[in-house]
Structure 1
Amino acid sequence: MRLRHKPWARERIEQHPQYIVAIPETYKGKWHEVFNNHQPIHIEVGTGKGRFITEMAKANPEVNYMGIELYDSVIVAALDRLIEADLPNLRLLNVDAADLNKYFEKNDVDRVYLNFSDPWPKVRHEKRRLTYKDFLKLYEDILVDKGEIHFKTDNQGLFEYSLKSFSEYGLLLTFLSLDLHKSEYEGNIMTEYEQKFSEMGNRIYRSEVKYQN
């Protein structure tokens, strides 16, 4: 995906610290101070333009949500959604997912969502895949015991790779769909990419796994 540079994005982000947490490492181990409650926290790694995480926050006010997005020019779209919705249970982090353990500690997070992540199909780029073993260890370091990963993609190769990676890491598979939109799964909220790919006729794959510690 080629990103369109938005030179004004950084300034806009800095103008809204109430929505995009400015110094997230400050709250490591104490995110309840940001949300003013002790509700469970679910994060989306690679939140993109924020449709999924915003709609999830609207639908589940008893859960706190955080969208993680590296690119300024992308997260400003999620910011606009959040400003419009003004949800008390949603915040954004403009950080690199590879550094999650700088911002969260063990037991800070209850669930991780990975939606339509970059498949990085070349073998030499395997370590960049968000379901690679190093990332699975990273999620384990911030999740509660028996924490969950919910994963969706339209890329069959990435899905097969991820199932293998989950299994080799010792994760417990709790849900699997090889064609989500034709399944009986209830409560699915689509991302922008999901709607686009589904309208193109692409099959949507979903799995849910749980750490067994």
Structure 2
Amino acid sequence: MRLRHKPHAKDKLLEHQQFVVKDPETMKGKWNERFGKAQPLHIEIGCGKGQFIIEMAKRHPEINFIGIELQTSVIVSVLEKQIEAELPNLQLLQVDARELKSYFEKNEVDRIYLTFSDPWPKNRHEKRRLTYKTFLSVYETILKPKGELHFKTDNQGLFEYSLTSFSHYGALLTDVYLDLHTSDVEENVMTEYEEKFSKKGNRIYKAVVSFT
């Protein structure tokens, strides 16, 4: 997908460092200090334009949320929503998911969300998939012993690959939904992509994974 260039995006990110963490490595092991309140910590890796993470933060003020996105032209869209909402329990990081152990201490995160990640369908790009074994190792390190990984996609190939990857890694699948929108789930906050694809009739898949 081609991203639309936003010429003033970098300046806006720098202007709103109360929401966008400039030096996240200094917060490692101390995220409760950044939020000013000790609460469970949930992170979304690849938060897109922010519909999911914004809505989750609104619904759950008892949880601290961090939206992680590498692309400047994408994360600025999340920032614009946060500037309007001013949610005290939401922070944003512009970092590479492969480096999360530099920003989060071991056993610091309660839950990780992977929502409609890039499927990287070509075999030569397997290592870029966010459910590849090297990423799973990172998640296992930063998650608490009873922490969970929540993974959603409309891409059947990526879902099947991910289930295999979880299994080979030795992760525990606690819930698997082959058609999420017809399942009896307590809460399902949709992303922009989820709304778009489900309206087209695409089936939505979800897996909940733990590592202990």
TM-score, normalising length: structure 1: 0.98
Correspondences of 1:85-164 after superposition (within 5 Å): 85-164=85-164
Q: Aligned letter for 1:108?
A: E
Identity of aligned residues (%): 66
Which position in structure 1 is the counterpart of 2:15? 15
Root mean square deviation, CA, Å: 0.7
Which position in structure 1 is the counterpart of 2:193? 193
Aligned-residue offset at 1:137: 0.2
Aligned-residue offset at 1:194: 0.3
Which position in structure 2 is the counterpart of 1:81? 81
CA distance in 1, matches of 2:193, 2:94: 20
Which position in structure 2 is the counterpart of 1:183? 183
CA distance in 1, matches of 2:123, 2:54: 34
Which position in structure 2 is the counterpart of 1:43? 43
Aligned-residue offset at 1:168: 1.1
Q: Aligned letter for 1:64?
A: N
CA distance in 1, matches of 2:211, 2:60: 23
* 5+ residue gaps, structure 1: none
Which position in structure 1 is the counterpart of 2:56? 56
Q: Aligned letter for 1:154?
A: D
Which position in structure 1 is the counterpart of 2:169? 169
CA distance in 2, matches of 1:108, 1:12: 29
Note the alpha carbon deviations across 1:72-97, whole angstroms, 9 max, x for none: 10011100111111111100001111
Which position in structure 2 is the counterpart of 1:29? 29
Aligned-residue offset at 1:146: 2.5
Aligned-residue offset at 1:6: 1.2
CA distance in 2, matches of 1:17, 1:107: 26
Task: Establish whether residue 4 from structure 1 lines up as the match of residue 4 from structure 2.
Answer: yes
SS across alignment from 2:150:
strand
SS across alignment from 2:196:
helix
Q: Aligned letter for 1:127?
A: K
CA distance in 2, matches of 1:99, 1:172: 24
SS across alignment from 1:83:
helix
Q: Aligned letter for 1:158?
A: L
Matched length:
212
Q: Aligned letter for 1:74?
A: V
CA distance in 2, matches of 1:37, 1:19: 15
